[in-house]
Structure 1
């Protein structure tokens, strides 16, 4: 759907033309292509991250808000004194999951731009795919080495998440 919306003759350009604006090459300009790949990736996972944050909000005991209200805290003071500190570990989890997803993004790039224009949206997983399976000649060794680097990167992010998760449980 997003490729259909963002194409040179897509829905978004049709709307621009209806307002007497010039059509834009959303997926053909390197700067815009990167923006739109990031936008579509965020949009695709917004519901998942919202559910995680909602679970974090629901885990905050109502008694803490009542205690803050008794102490004279208003809405903002309750947010900064109760909600924000107790939601921070959940936000760290969402941030680390987002970083892991950003490192391994493939589907949006493959569908929207195929790694182009040029190599502006050629991320690591796309590079592994292109090197090992779609290039001539196919370079399986180089693709395997890049996969190992990707795995090490993901392992580092996962260890960071586990360490932050343990330190937030101790609080």
Structure 2
């Protein structure tokens, strides 16, 4: 089997899973589709250098996450503030996390969200996440700790005790 056929077979078999990961990273179906397309195109261009066909998914996932992070960095300097948020069409599929969790995950910075998605959706270890993000395991631990602290702060605010002035 040549590299083109192997890649086409991979895309047919794994495109739904890749789209789901991209959706978890972006929170928007159209952006997720664009992100998957961009990642697949990037890996397709270098498919001849991939020695092990079974490793294609790892390359695509890594490219997906890194492209998302770099795109958010570039976009954040060119975004325009709007006085009113335009109406968003309802997503066809339900989010993976229900209730208040999903908006809280979407509010996380790109790297923190990537760590949460890779750790809890893909069940990757800290070493594997570090490889995908191109950072140290210490940075992964730091991103995860900050993300979980932010999620706890939003999802389970600290109760104020009577007579404590709001402190515990």
TM-score by length of 1: 0.29
More helix by share: 1
TM-score by length of 2: 0.29
Which one has the largest radius of gyration? 1
